[in-house]
Structure 1
Amino acid sequence: MHLETVEPAITSADDPREFAATLSAMYDAKMSGSRMPAHPRTVISESWARAADAGVDPDCGSDDDPLSFTAVQQRRADSGLAGSLDTIVGGLGALITDSDNLVIVADASGHVLWRAGEHRALRRADRLKFSEGASWAERQVGTNAIGTALAARRPVQVFSAEHFVRSHHAWTCTAAPIRDPRTGELLGVVDVSGPAPSIHPATLALVNSVALLTEARLREDHRSQLDLLRSVGAPIVSRVGQPAMVVDQHGWVAAVNQLPAVQRIAVTRPFAAGRSVIGTLGLCDVEPLPGGWLLRTADDGPRERKVVVSVTTAPDGTASVHVDSGAAAWTFRPSPRHLQIIGLLAEHPGGLTAAELATNLFGSPDQTVSARAEMSRLRRHLRELLASSPYRFIDAVEVRLPTP
């Protein structure tokens, strides 16, 4: 857990209106090249410099269009934060109830993915293009809590004329980054924004606490996933008869046999079924498991093993999918839609784009959101066996369908 020192934009002893006037005079002097009556905080001066280097217009910012609805939906699914919304909004609910404040969740690129707040606050934000799909990265709108928290990788509060773009001076915003506990990489930020006079120094500590709580919940979810993988992998590595370990997609170790016990192995590229060199383990045979991978040190002989995905139909018409990776096997019952997807991907080994899949499933290329949602649900069963862009089975998979 990251315990950064938080630095509010204002102290409880400061008068917000007087301080805003001081910041405004400082900002005007900076933008005109005059001598400033005071100097901004380091986090703000560094952000102003980045914004100027990026060519941000201090009068109007960027005119970039927001992401499409479909793109926002996809980013929400890929963000890793969708399951944390209740934690975030619940932890900050008191700040938006009967107020003009908003809670914003943005991804690691600074694009707004979710908003929560009263209708009047949402309408006010819309006038500033502070809506879903809009980019609030520094290179687009200059200094602001979302973009600056991402750039500085720390909690940030930005008040009034500390914003680089003039139209944002009526606002105050407070944001803290959320990191992926599995990799340490940024997942995004949580932000509270509202009218400048509503600023409070305690808001920064609260927003940071919610970000840390979100990371803690994500860490606990990861532990649960590792425990589940361990229940599958431990019996497998104990009987393979050679050095082996079971890891998740990020290299966290769930089970090990005849190899040094470590928490995690370095992952420089995504795992793929077959034979490849894996860090300090050397040449390994890599096989997919439900939720992870089996790595076993390779012998000198050639080895080519297919992962077999077999679809069978019972006399009553019920379909089952059996997966045999050689080291492990599992079975699940697909929905009719998932059975259709498996058949389509088997017919198109080169893969299908989201639009092509939507056309086959729903008769329209515009239904990509629904197609991606179905693929996301199918991944719960097939996980590492499915690739994307385009959607397809990985090369090591052989699909066997019932004979017509």
Structure 2
Amino acid sequence: MANPWLAVDERTPPKSRARLLRTAWEGFVESDGPPSDPLSVRAPIAASWGRCQDAGVAHQGDAVAPVVADEDETAARWSSHPLQAVRPLIEECLSPIMDGSHLVVVADARGMLLWVDGPVTVRRAAEAMNFAPGTLWSEAGAGTNAVGTALAADHGVQVFAAEHFHEQVQTWTCSACPVHDPDSGALLGVIDLTSRMSTVHPHALSVAVATARAVEMQLRSSMQEDDARLVERYGDRVSTGRGARALVSPHGRIITANAAWRRDALRVERTDEDGRFAVAGASATDVESLHHGGAFVVGPSAGPAPRRRGAPAGPGPLRLDLLSPTGPSAVAAGVEVPLRPRQAEILALLAASPDGLNVERLGAGLYGDGAKPGTVRVEVSRLRKLLGPWLTSEPYRLTAACSCDLRTVHDLLATGAVREAAERYGEGLLPQSEAPGVVRVREDLLAWVRESVLQSDGVDALWAWVDGSGGEGDLIAWSRFLGRLSPLDRRRPLAVARVRRLRQRLAAPA
């Protein structure tokens, strides 16, 4: 067959092909070596068998794929997954092949099934081998199969009959194709068509590939629409700045740039430290977060502007800590600035609104309805005496020379750095404040961090959350953390004790 990724076509007799593959598979698992007849096994399948063998994946037994998420967690992951938004398009593209015998499947980037749809009888038969939402169908989890092998090879693939590494799956045929994020290029997941071996459609793989490409085009179109809105709103930050400047996405993709920017630079690299950006050839980089971490203005630092003899020097950096357990603080050009509670609230509201606030919106955030503009202006005037160079006149806005832990956590969450965000969350935003706007920002941030932690993979983000004051009493997070720990993890006794105590507290009468 000319296409090594395709298992069967209209010219392939399925039964004879299945018998040949079964013989090759038996020889492989019995000899622990490469297929004795390489011509009978396609190169992508032989490579997958080798990976499964090296990983010690079982080829027999009742349990094919492990369950890695319960129903609630799976539903939460699917509801927030980028492919959920294009589900109608997936259904529209696959409807011509939905003849009552195929399942439509979407899995995430690690191979966990998020959504399985199709005839009830076929779904029930698939569930007998754990082919259901919440199960892991990566190669390491279930052996050679279209979902896991498409992810491992980063290519559309069809897996037929005994090409499946696990014997229990060999009465099925599946065709899957990866879908990539148009912004970062990272794998988002796979779209899969699965059916019984005897009812496989000869064009299943081509339909799966075409659907994945249509989804990527839709995601790219949505991204370009978002880009246009960002350019319209923030383009002046690029065109009016000194030196080479660009508006970039959270993953470093250049959205637009001024004339001084290198035309061949289509992306800047994100650094590990503070989630900042690195511009090639620049020892220092200016970074301004916009749109709650949804975009950034970056460029090589031009250094201080030339000044006339006798003129005052420009402002140095301003550092705001609004999430610190020791209370809010401000350090301006290396000098600590004392803050009153109301001033900290103003800074919190401005840090949460990179585009700035007029006097009415700032007043509503501080005092609620009926705020007097004169009172707000007096408060801001007092603050500007302390932070004049870093605080613009109305609309009030913190300048790019200001860094703030609240914005850092926003940016980390926006780029998926959940563990780092949980570590920097502290005790939340100004826990003692009752200002309406601060309460709203505080509750939104708490919900964002917590939901991101609960939906994250592994244990690192969960540990960062439950180990801090924000998640100290979070029974759901502690239970999920305990469920993901290995039996020998030294934190397990602590997690057991904490879950038991929180459950007892919940069950105690009021």
TM beyond 0.5: yes
Instruction: Please tell me whether the aligned partners of residues 172 and 193 of structure 1 are also in contact (alpha carbons under 8 angstroms).
Output: yes
SS at match of 1:280: coil
Q: Rate the CA distance shift 1:141–1:63 in 2: closer, same or farther, 3 A.
A: closer
2:317 maps to amino acid: R
SS at match of 1:43: helix
Q: How does 1:208-223 map to 2 (within 5 A)?
A: 208-223=209-224
Instruction: Please tell me whether the aligned partners of residues 366 and 437 of structure 2 are also in contact (alpha carbons under 8 angstroms).
Output: no
Shift of 1:12: 1.1
Residue 91 of structure 1 is matched in structure 2 by 93
Q: Which moved more, 1:59-68 or 1:125-134?
A: 59-68
Instruction: Please tell me whether the aligned partners of residues 97 and 201 of structure 2 are also in contact (alpha carbons under 8 angstroms).
Output: no
1:208-245, CA deviations, whole angstroms, 9 ceiling, x for partnerless residues?
A: 01111111111111111111111122122233344422
Residue 169 of structure 2 is matched in structure 1 by 168
* Alignment partners' CA distance in 1, 2:119 and 2:437: 39
Shift of 1:187: 1.1
Residue 146 of structure 1 is matched in structure 2 by 147
Residue 71 of structure 1 is matched in structure 2 by 73
* Alignment partners' CA distance in 2, 1:87 and 1:120: 24
Q: Which moved more, 1:141-150 or 1:68-77?
A: 68-77
1:342 maps to amino acid: V
Shift of 1:254: 2.9
Q: Which moved more, 1:307-316 or 1:111-120?
A: 307-316
Q: Which moved more, 1:75-84 or 1:108-117?
A: 75-84
Residue 294 of structure 1 is matched in structure 2 by 297
Residue 269 of structure 2 is matched in structure 1 by 267
Answer 1 or 2: higher relative contact order, Cα 8 Å, separation at least 6. Answer: 1
* Alignment partners' CA distance in 1, 2:261 and 2:36: 65
Residue 27 of structure 2 is matched in structure 1 by 29
Q: What TM-score do you get using the length of structure 1 for normalisation? A: 0.74
* Alignment partners' CA distance in 2, 1:109 and 1:131: 15
Would you say 1:304 and 2:347 are equivalent positions?
no
Structure with greater helix percent: 2
Shift of 1:133: 1.0
Instruction: Please tell me whether the aligned partners of residues 283 and 297 of structure 1 are also in contact (alpha carbons under 8 angstroms).
Output: yes
Residue 283 of structure 1 is matched in structure 2 by 284
Shift of 1:166: 0.7
Residue 315 of structure 1 is matched in structure 2 by 369
Shift of 1:23: 1.8
* Alignment partners' CA distance in 2, 1:85 and 1:246: 30
Q: Rate the CA distance shift 1:17–1:243 in 2: closer, same or farther, 3 A.
A: closer
Instruction: Please tell me whether the aligned partners of residues 103 and 191 of structure 1 are also in contact (alpha carbons under 8 angstroms).
Output: yes
Q: Rate the CA distance shift 1:86–1:140 in 2: closer, same or farther, 3 A.
A: same
* Alignment partners' CA distance in 1, 2:437 and 2:21: 58
Q: Rate the CA distance shift 1:35–1:7 in 2: closer, same or farther, 3 A.
A: closer
Q: 4+ runs of 1 displaced by more than 4 Å? A: 34-38, 270-274, 336-341, 351-357, 363-368
1:85 maps to amino acid: R
1:255-277, CA deviations, whole angstroms, 9 ceiling, x for partnerless residues?
A: 33333345622223379588x75
Residue 408 of structure 2 is matched in structure 1 by none
Q: Rate the CA distance shift 1:273–1:198 in 2: closer, same or farther, 3 A.
A: closer
* Alignment partners' CA distance in 2, 1:84 and 1:16: 33
Residue correspondences, number: 347
Instruction: Please tell me whether the aligned partners of residues 4 and 43 of structure 2 are also in contact (alpha carbons under 8 angstroms).
Output: no
Instruction: Please tell me whether the aligned partners of residues 156 and 176 of structure 1 are also in contact (alpha carbons under 8 angstroms).
Output: yes
**2:18 aligned to 17, 20, 26, which one?**
20
* Alignment partners' CA distance in 2, 1:22 and 1:165: 16
* Alignment partners' CA distance in 1, 2:80 and 2:266: 23
* Alignment partners' CA distance in 1, 2:196 and 2:437: 48
Q: How does 1:73-222 map to 2 (within 5 A)?
A: 73-76=75-78, 79-97=81-99, 99-222=100-223
* Alignment partners' CA distance in 2, 1:259 and 1:37: 52
Shift of 1:149: 0.7
Would you say 1:239 and 2:240 are equivalent positions?
yes
Q: Rate the CA distance shift 1:78–1:344 in 2: closer, same or farther, 3 A.
A: closer
Instruction: Please tell me whether the aligned partners of residues 9 and 203 of structure 2 are also in contact (alpha carbons under 8 angstroms).
Output: no
Q: Rate the CA distance shift 1:325–1:243 in 2: closer, same or farther, 3 A.
A: farther
Residue 325 of structure 2 is matched in structure 1 by none
SS at match of 2:124: helix
* Alignment partners' CA distance in 2, 1:266 and 1:277: 6
SS at match of 2:40: coil
* Alignment partners' CA distance in 2, 1:237 and 1:166: 58
* Alignment partners' CA distance in 2, 1:202 and 1:211: 14
Q: Rate the CA distance shift 1:38–1:285 in 2: closer, same or farther, 3 A.
A: closer
1:21-69, CA deviations, whole angstroms, 9 ceiling, x for partnerless residues?
A: 2222222232233955962111111111111111111112656333123
1:338-391, CA deviations, whole angstroms, 9 ceiling, x for partnerless residues?
A: 974523578x9xx7686899x99xx985599xxxxxxxxxxxxxxxxxxxxxxx
Q: Which moved more, 1:100-109 or 1:117-126?
A: 117-126
Long gaps (5+) in structure 1: 329-335, 369-404
SS at match of 2:281: helix
Residue 342 of structure 1 is matched in structure 2 by 441
SS at match of 1:135: coil
Long gaps (5+) in structure 2: 305-313, 321-349, 353-361, 372-394, 402-434, 455-464, 479-510
1:304 maps to amino acid: L
Q: Which one has the largest radius of gyration? A: 2
Residue 427 of structure 2 is matched in structure 1 by none
Shift of 1:112: 0.4
1:168-187, CA deviations, whole angstroms, 9 ceiling, x for partnerless residues?
A: 01100000111112222211
Q: Rate the CA distance shift 1:64–1:367 in 2: closer, same or farther, 3 A.
A: closer
Q: Pairwise CA RMSD of aligned residues? A: 3.6
Q: Rate the CA distance shift 1:190–1:297 in 2: closer, same or farther, 3 A.
A: same
1:49-91, CA deviations, whole angstroms, 9 ceiling, x for partnerless residues?
A: 1111111111126563331234324533564322121111221
Q: How does 1:387-402 map to 2 (within 5 A)?
A: none
Residue 48 of structure 1 is matched in structure 2 by 49
